[in-house]
Amino acid sequence: MATQEETFKKIVSHCKEYGFVFPSSEIYDGLGAVYDYGQQGVELKNNIKRYWWDAMTLLHENIVGIDAAIFMHPTTWKASGHVDAFNDPLIDNKDSKKRYRADVLIEEQLAKIEEKIQKEVEKARKRFGDSFDEQMFRQTNPRVQEHQKHFDALHERFAKAMNDNDLEQLRQIILDEEIVCPISGTRNWTEVRQFNLMFATEMGSTADGAMKVYLRPETAQGIFVNFLNVQKTGRMKVPFGIAQIGKAFRNEIVARQFVFRMREFEQMEMQFFVRPGEELRWFEHWKQFRLNWHKALGLGDDKYRFHDHEKLAHYANAATDIEFLMPFGFKEVEGIHSRTNFDLSQHAKYSGKKIEYFDPELNESYTPYVIETSIGVDRMFLSVMCSAYKEEQLEGGDSRVVLSLPPVLAPTKVCVMPLVKKDGLPEKAREVMDMLKFDFRTAYDEKDSIGKRYRRQDAIGTPFCVTIDHDTLTDNCVTVRYRDTMAQDRVPVEELHSLIEKAVDPKQLYRRLAQSLQ
Ligand code: ATP
């Protein structure tokens, strides 16, 4: 059995080998934590974005989309707090010269303690079998209790240091916990310093006096500064939402784990504006809806969990992450935040404009409160890839790699193949392809044996292969081969369209989600 780390490495190389993700500017040895999506990857990514966009804007009459520019007036970032506070605490190891996020080093230490507890629990579960009472074991086993005490104390100390922005204390925790650099193995650490994550550049020629502008670190601010524009021109009534998909940039200190942490990435964000005092009810609503959205894809309900924030940003009054079980543990894919009226109030203050909403039902004006749902396209892409990648042993000693992608997201929906390259079969196959290609992304393949062609489609996650053989010319039936089961059916050509549509049409997911809203 491959370890999780080996599996992850295989997924990364599979992504490259089959045209999903390439390192950026690879011929120049790449650029740290920047990636390009290839011919398969872009389709999968577009399908993810479409699923999100439609779930927001089709399913909700009161959510509209925008596409704001990446560059924004620099005061935006002063108002939002990013210039002063969008920092990560960094620490260097003097021997390896490697840089780390101090908070991440401590979080990893916490995860290690949790792992030790889990190991004890699993060992005992094996020993006691059916009669095992996990809760009782956790409460009474001395070793588990000792680990738990350690965990709780460390956790409390860490949360306090983060809340107080106490950099010295963070360093002291790293020393006290005897955390070593994974590269040098030493504890020769520098001080902890704050590091601003925004990329800056200059706009305008220097003769005119260039202005320092930032590449946006989140798409949300483009929504806030357009609140009045959209509300007025769209005659939107609170509660309503504005959705946006776009690039964001962060100069991440430690960029690891492939597309999980990139310096240029894409976000899908929706800001939902509500009456003051109603935000926590809407927060619960959006938590549930977003989890339903994830689960509807069928990647496995047990792969998700909520992680409530203990440390709230100064403007938030509730926050949670939706975490997904990646090969490297449960990791944040989406954040749901109750941001109060902080952003709109700040922009009102810095711009001198009144940013309020007149509520005709209450007959009063107020600054709406905001619930934000913010998901990274690339992290979503990674969670889909990680859950889809499978290596299977087949009968007869053969094996295959298959991407069991949700058919709705699969880059190619169907591949049409003539059994042989002669006898009029390619012409018939082209005819079938022409029938399908404007409704479903359809590929054509006539090279190599049928077995090899099936494997190629398995590896990119194509749910259906359609083979044209000599009988097709007389009975107008084709062989449909299903990716996951490898079962084959003989199907009349005129039934192909509805068979494929049933599996790949996102409308079925929208209907299910719409029901969950009632
Ligand atoms: P983390 O704690 O992992 O750095 P975050 O809490 O800073 O993430 P948010 O600011 O809440 O992230 O951003 C919302 C979403 O944007 C995240 O849930 C994630 O999916 C995505 N995201 C954030 N930073 C990155 C990144 N460097 N690379 C890829 N996706 C990212």
Q: How far is residue 400's CA from residue 456's CA, in Å, rounded to a whole number?
A: 10
pLDDT at position 91: 95
Dihedral of CA atoms 227, 233, 238, 239 in degrees, nearest 10, equals -80
pLDDT at position 491: 98
CA distances from 300 to 141, 296, 478, 496 (A): 32, 9, 33, 28
Q: Which residues contact 319 (CB under 8 A, 6 or more apart)?
A: 308, 309, 312, 313, 335, 336, 337, 338
Spacing, Cα 143 to ligand 1 middle (Å): 35
Spacing, Cα 47 to ligand 1 middle (Å): 20
Spacing, Cα 505 to ligand 1 middle (Å): 29
> What b/e readout covers 446-483, taking b as 16+ CB neighbours within 10 angstroms?
beeebeebbbbbbbbbbbbbbbbbeebeeeebbbbbeb
pLDDT at position 205: 72
The atom number, within ligand 1, closest to the CA of 269 reads: 14
Maximum CA extent, the chain: 80
CA distances from 516 to 55, 238, 245, 288, 291 (A): 12, 22, 24, 9, 11
CA distances from 265 to 184, 217, 387 (A): 30, 9, 21
Residue nearest to atom 18 of ligand 1 (CA): 334
Residue whose structure tokens are 């062989």: 479
Cis before 406 (ω within 30): no
Whether the CB of 54 sits within 6 Å of ligand 1: no
Q: Which among 171, 118, 180, 183 is positioned nearest to 144, based on CA atoms? A: 118
Q: Which residues contact 366 (CB under 8 A, 6 or more apart)?
A: 275, 276, 341, 356, 357, 359
Whether the CB of 261 sits within 6 Å of ligand 1: yes
Q: How far is residue 495's CA from residue 497's CA, in Å, rounded to a whole number?
A: 6
Q: How far is residue 114's CA from residue 120's CA, in Å, rounded to a whole number?
A: 10
- Which CATH number is associated with domain 38-71+217-393? 3.30.930.10
- Whether the CB-CB separation of 19 and 41 falls below 8 Å is answered with yes
The atom number, within ligand 1, closest to the CA of 267 reads: 16
Q: Which amino acid is at 138?
A: R
Angle of CA points 458, 14, 382, to nearest 5°: 95
Residue nearest to atom 11 of ligand 1 (CA): 335
CA distances from 283 to 338, 458, 470 (A): 6, 40, 59
pLDDT at position 207: 62
Residue whose structure tokens are 């303690």: 113
Could you please report the per-residue DSSP string of 127-161?
HHGGG--HHHHHHH-HHHHHHHHHHHHHHHHHHHH
Whether the CB of 215 sits within 6 Å of ligand 1: no
Asked whether the domain spanning 412-507 has the same topology as the one spanning 38-71+217-393, the reply is no
The atom number, within ligand 1, closest to the CA of 379 reads: 20
Whether the CB of 219 sits within 6 Å of ligand 1: no
Q: Report the residue among 267, 304, 308 best suited for mutation to probe ligand 1: largest number of ligand atoms under 8 A from its CB.
A: 267
Could you please report the per-residue DSSP string of 244-260?
EEEEEE---SS--TGGG
Q: Which residues contact 349 (CB under 8 A, 6 or more apart)?
A: 79
Q: How far is residue 429's CA from residue 436's CA, in Å, rounded to a whole number?
A: 11
Q: What's 303's DSSP letter?
A: G
- Which CATH number is associated with domain 412-507? 3.40.50.800
Q: How far is residue 161's CA from residue 202's CA, in Å, rounded to a whole number?
A: 35
Whether the CB of 290 sits within 6 Å of ligand 1: no
Q: How far is residue 405's CA from residue 444's CA, in Å, rounded to a whole number?
A: 20
Model pTM score: 0.89
Dihedral of CA atoms 245, 250, 255, 259 in degrees, nearest 10, equals 10
Residue nearest to atom 12 of ligand 1 (CA): 335
Whether the CB of 319 sits within 6 Å of ligand 1: no
List the chain domain ranges.
38-71+217-393, 412-507
Residue nearest to atom 1 of ligand 1 (CA): 332
Whether the CB of 264 sits within 6 Å of ligand 1: no
Other C-beta atoms closer than 10 Å to the C-beta of 165 total 12
Whether the CB of 88 sits within 6 Å of ligand 1: no
Q: Render each residue's pLDDT in the chain as its tens digit; 518 residues.
A: 678 889 999 999 999 999 999 999 999 999 999 999 999 999 999 999 999 999 999 999 999 999 999 999 999 999 999 999 899 999 999 999 999 999 999 999 999 999 999 999 999 999 998 889 999 999 999 999 999 999 999 999 999 998 888 999 999 999 999 999 999 999 999 999 999 999 999 998 766 677 899 999 999 999 999 999 999 999 999 999 999 999 999 999 877 789 999 999 999 999 999 999 999 999 999 999 999 999 999 999 999 999 998 777 778 899 999 999 999 899 999 999 999 999 999 999 999 999 999 999 999 999 999 999 999 999 999 999 999 999 999 988 899 999 999 999 999 999 999 999 999 999 999 999 999 999 999 999 999 999 999 999 999 999 999 999 999 999 999 999 999 999 999 999 999 999 999 999 999 999 999 988 87
The atom number, within ligand 1, closest to the CA of 252 reads: 27
